[in-house]
Amino acid sequence: MTFRFRHLLGIEPLKADDIRTILDLADQYVDLSRGASKHSDVLAGLTQINMFFEASTRTQASFEIAGKRLGADVMNMSMQASSLKKGETLIDTALTLNAMHPDLLVVRHPQSGAVDLLAQKVNCAVLNAGDGRHEHPTQALLDALTIRRAKGRLHRLTVAICGDIAHSRVARSNILLLGRMENRVRLIGPATLIPAKAVEFGVEVYEDMREGLAGADVVMMLRLQKERMDGGFIPSEREYYHRFGLDAEKLAHAREDAIVMHPGPMNRGVEIDGTLADDINRSVIQEQVEMGVAVRMAAMDLLARNLRAERAAGGIHV
């Protein structure tokens, strides 16, 4: 088992084996997290900084718990209120932080590519916690782990991703990951929310949700951002719910044992029916949250191993 990467910036560079490596280790961390003592020392002595340039509760908490369970010293920085307001550039912020010798830097940023840029300027491991509309790799990995545990496999499944694909980094990372693991990926949504040339990603695109759900093993709903609702991309919330909201009737077109996923936070009654979201026989939304912690523990563990190995070899100056 080897994991070759310095950073986790996206799913794009990962091969199927890399993905399996992360998920296998994450399985072990699920057991640890469910055990009596939820603690390990694999990150002891390392400093983890969570830098969020965009509001987040769930992802930030998940990374924080993951780091703490592995014994890292974790610090949260909410960057909206901080130096950017004072005109500091992203690179200067990165250099300032770098001088504090962090080992793991978890970054979320509203602009695509910003985390890549930051990773070029620091000498620690960087984890992308979401950049613009580009990628959100740990979300795709936690989705993959949830699917693998629920379905017993992560290949030859039909996965329907529904909603605002165009603005979703979750969708991009999932399309890449599920494609790499040889699944059949369908995108369902109004044409205004499907990215240009989406079929060139090797996916099928549906504008009729019932057709798109037919025979699906996994139904992955995406959050519809409030600011997209009023006339800009879709005519109204109620028309959207009518055509693309997931309810029991539409779900009946999927396979009988299809699972329902959502990256959260949910808009009940906009993209998903509340009762369905709470149906423990169909919905794995709570499992996704649990898997999120495990996947992030695994990713940070693997990156920290590489970091330590590189430092031992004199590769990275600290």
Flag whether 86 is marked binding: yes
CB of 201 to other proteins, least distance (A): 7
Flag whether 156 is marked binding: no
CB of 70 to other proteins, least distance (A): 29
- Let me know the angle formed at the C-alpha of 212 by 250 and 205, rounded to the nearest 5 degrees: 145
Q: How far apart are CA 258 and CA 158, in angstroms?
A: 10
**Which residue type sits at 178?**
L
Question: Residue 98 region, left (φ>0) first, then alpha (ψ -120 to 50), else beta?
Answer: alpha
Q: How far apart are CA 211 and CA 141, in angstroms?
A: 27
- What SS3 state is found at 32? helix
Chosen residue from 90, 188, 260, 291 binding other proteins by CB under 8 A: 90
CB of 113 to other proteins, least distance (A): 3
Flag whether 223 is marked binding: yes
Active-site annotation holds for 59: yes
Q: Which residues contact 183 (CB under 8 A, 6 or more apart)?
A: 154, 155, 156, 157, 158, 159
- For position 195 contacting other proteins by CB under 8 A, the verdict is yes
- For position 180 contacting other proteins by CB under 8 A, the verdict is no
Region near other proteins per CB under 8 A, out of 69-77, 108-116, 204-212, 268-276:
108-116
Chosen residue from 184, 201, 207, 311 binding other proteins by CB under 8 A: 201
CB of 280 to other proteins, least distance (A): 34
CA distances from 249 to 157, 166, 237, 245, 267 (A): 22, 26, 19, 10, 18
- For position 200 contacting other proteins by CB under 8 A, the verdict is yes
Q: How far apart are CA 81 and CA 101, in angstroms?
A: 22
Encoding tokens for residue 212?
């798109």
Chosen residue from 34, 38, 55, 113 binding other proteins by CB under 8 A: 113
Residues at the binding site for carbamoyl phosphate are: 58-59, 108, 136, 139, 264-265
Instruction: Please give the positions annotated as active site.
Output: 58-59, 86, 108, 136
Residues belonging to the binding site are 58-59, 86, 108, 136, 139, 169, 223, 264-265
* Contact footprint for other proteins (CB under 8 A): 12, 89-91, 109, 111-114, 116-117, 131-135, 166, 169, 172, 195-198, 200-201
